[in-house]
Chain A
Amino acid sequence: MGLKNKCAITGLGYTVQGKVPDRSAMSFYIEAAKNAIADAGLSIRDIDGIIIQPCPTDSRITAFSLAQDMGLSLRFGADQQLQGASSCAIIQHAAMAVDAGLCDYCLCAFADTSRSASPTTGNIYQRAMSSDAAYGMFGVAASYAMIARRYTHEYGITSRQFGAVSVAFRHHASLNPIAQMRQPITIDDHQASRWVVEPLHLFDCCLVSDGGRALIVTSAERARNLAKSPVYIMGMGQGHPLSDPLQRKTVTETGAIESGKTAFSMAGITRKDIDVCSIYDAFSFAVPMQLEDLGFCTKGEGGAFFEDGHIALGGALPTNTSGGLLSEVYIQGWVGTHEVISQLRGDCGQRQVPDAELGLVTSSGGVLSTHATLILRR
């Protein structure tokens, strides 16, 4: 059905990441693009399509300004903004464009300089989002905290269970040489970390980072003749319930329900078949919530699922094996796509999931407002 196995991802591009002062966002887009092209064994002129996720700190950058700076003339280009969900959604869009014959090699890229840009005014993730600021309501964390409070209230999930997520991902990061935070933590460390917006502790919140990521989508056929073994796109889906989650009838269910359903139906596999997984972890509690919505456990069981070690390396569903947004780096949804693709290629060294064949990535934007899911296979 649909685009199953018709397109593949090749060429992964990374940059230096973490706290990287004095770098323009454009320089990260280009460094990531250059590395992705080299990794695929392509030449720059092979790229005939570009989709970017716009940069949070530099709105001047578009697919076409990137093409300009790379000296490329394109057959296909787009800027696609689903915030955190952009990575998976852009890969879907690229696959559609390739399958439709609009381009052969579609470069997908993103960069952020939020860690180093405008430190005196606070980063963009901390600003007022509406007139609610009159009540002292600022930043993304507070809206997530409103949902977290409901989640504990409706399902009896505890802050220690949120902590189990952070502890597991920090352990994964300790095995990842490029992770920002590699010092292992315990549940007690999590509980002792300061409140940011209660009920969220500091260790429930993702990092803020500088860096970029890129990858290339092409047809399954073309991908077979390139430098790295292809990772095929088996299933895809999106789900975007009301974009203001605080106005939804229930605030503890997300668009991952719909995006997961569509992706699994295209792929024709079951939850049990997934070997490695990435869930958008801007805040710890959102991981069990989305695992429930994707059907890996029933609603309200997500917290226990973590405490039981299912999602740690060695468990039944190793999740966010790079350390994720909580401990590796915050380059939005691209952290998840790159890690699952690396796992399926067998490139993850000490944190490699043995014989990983099928992977799932779900990314989420806004405040659990937009969701996109990919099912990938090696």
Chain B
Amino acid sequence: MLQKCPECGQYRYPPGETCPYCLSSNLEWEIVNGWGNVFSWVVFHQVYHRTFADDIPYTVVLIELDQGVRMISSLIDCRMEDIRIGLPVEVVFDDITNEISLPRFRPRTV
């Protein structure tokens, strides 16, 4: 789901109270297809937080959704050497707990 402004039609991410294009505060949620592509990506080699210490080196990706907004996420089912800018991806929801699931992405096959 992405926030969308019904007044000017723009999407926004991360979610906020106001549309940055027309300052409407009347934002609605819209279910989107979860498709996008890799806009940029990095590999963490230094431990910034011990939770991720065992994952080093790990990648973090910046995904540009088809709706134009970009989000930080991670890529699954993809070898590091296969990551490239422009790689088409689709969302997968990773259930961390019963309440919280994190959107991650995997290469799109269709």
Contact = CB atoms under 8 A, between A and B. Distances in A.
Interface of A: 122, 126, 128, 130-139, 142, 145-147, 149-150, 153, 194-199, 246-247, 251
Contact of A197 (B14, B42, B51): B42
Summarize A's interface: helix, strand, loop or mixed: helix
A150 to B, nearest CB: 5
Contacts of A196: 45-46
Contacts of A137: 60, 72
A149 B57 CA distance: 17
B40 A135 contact: no
Contacts of A139: 48
B58 interface: yes
Given A135-B74, A198-B42, 11 more contacts: A132-B60, A135-B73, A135-B102, A136-B55, A136-B58, A136-B60, A142-B60, A153-B85, A194-B46, A198-B57, A246-B40
Contacts of A132: 60, 72
Given A137-B72, A150-B85, A194 B45 contact: yes
Given A132-B72, A134-B102, A122 B48 contact: yes
Interface residues of B, number: 27
Contact of B44 (A131, A136, A150): A136
A133 B60 CA distance: 10
Interface in B84-104: 85, 102, 104
Q: Most A CB atoms within 10 A — which of B42, B49, B62? A: B42
Interface string B32-58: 000000011111111011011001011
A251 B64 CA distance: 12
A149 B45 contact: no
